Structure 1
Amino acid sequence: MAAVSATENTTAAKTTATFDVREATAADWPGIWAVLEPVLRTGETFTWDRDTTEEQARAKWIKEAPGQTFVAVRDGVVLGTGELHANQGGGGSHVANAGYMVHAAYTGQGIARALCAYSLDAARAAGFRAMQFNAVVESNTTAVWLWQSMGFRILATVPEAFNHPEIGYVGLHVMYQKL
């Protein structure tokens, strides 16, 4: 998959933020971990254990073909990261799954949207027929809105399937898009 560039005009800040989304390299790992670790430690949007080690995170986040790990970068700084893989094996291997994380310092710049768009293109290129998100935290309303704006629909919500550290038990959405 070729690298793509994204430009997001932020009206409030009156700035234009430009970044590239491309497949990750081994040299990107320190930047990827700098994005993953704070997201995992807060425990508000991902179902991973909050005490996941760097080694465990690397083993879980770095994907091999037909999957892929990718990054959004500006001037060599990893702003966000994503990963794409088959949602299931065997008879379910034609449906992709993906996850994305953006560093808190870079939210609101269109990075999550660009990561998702990149993964949809990569999934199509890899021959996947659909993409499914298994666990979108219901209280993560920004992500739910964003994924819906990109063509995903909520198929079901599993009630109280996620224990949010601040607000308690909330639902997990299963979201889907045909490619």
Structure 2
Amino acid sequence: MLIREAAAEDWPQIWPFWHRIVAAAETYAWGPDTSEEDARALWMSPAKRVYVAEDDTGAVVGSAYATPNYGGPAAGVANAGFMVDPDQAGRGIGRALAEHVLEAATAAGYRAMVFNAVVETNPAVGLWTSLGFRILGTVPAAFEHPRHGLVGLHIMYRAL
């Protein structure tokens, strides 16, 4: 698997799984009906360093980004987002992207990384804790999950 910086030409391969994941309304606090134009602006923003994971055929099977979570004197804390094509789950793509982004964020001089809204039922919580993130707190009943009803949103943190 190759992980590299994304190019504008990668978006047509990212959009199908981005849309599928967000439309499922189980893991991201973005509107399930987010348009492709708005999704592209959210994910491919020039303020973000965006990465893609390619399989051995060159197909984009996952994407991630890192960006400052705050501005000004707190800009040394990163935020990140990760999506893996659900048809490719269980192949280690999410872990590989996470390790890559953590290394890139460290190299870029970030001191820490924080996730502001991790849905507590998201299976990725296990991945994040295995990579050294800890839950700082949970906003109770903050997310309307389509299967579990109201669930909490974790704030997760890791020093870099």
Which residue pairs with 2:159 in the alignment? 178
Structural mapping, 1:13-92, within 5 Å: 19-64=1-46, 67-74=48-55, 75-92=57-74
- Shift >3 Å, 4+ stretches: none
Which residue pairs with 1:14 in the alignment? none
Q: Take 1:64 and 1:117, find their aligned partners in 2: how far apart are those partners?
A: 22
Which residue of the other structure, out of 116, 133, 137, is the alignment partner of 1:152? 133
- Structure 2 alignment gaps of length 5 or more: none
Once the two structures are aligned, what percentage of the paired residues are identical?
A: 52
Deviation at 1:63, TM superposition (A): 3.5
Number of aligned residue pairs: 159
3-state secondary structure, aligned to 2:64: strand
Structural mapping, 1:54-133, within 5 Å: 54-64=36-46, 67-74=48-55, 75-133=57-115
TM, length-normalised to structure 2: 0.96
TM, length-normalised to structure 1: 0.86
CA RMSD of superposed structures (Å)? 1.0
Deviation at 1:91, TM superposition (A): 2.1
Q: Take 1:86 and 1:106, find their aligned partners in 2: how far apart are those partners?
A: 28
List per-residue Cα deviations over 1:42-70 (Å, max 9, x = no partner).
Answer: 000000000000100110101336x3011
> CA contact under 8 A between 1:72 and 1:111: conserved in structure 2?
yes
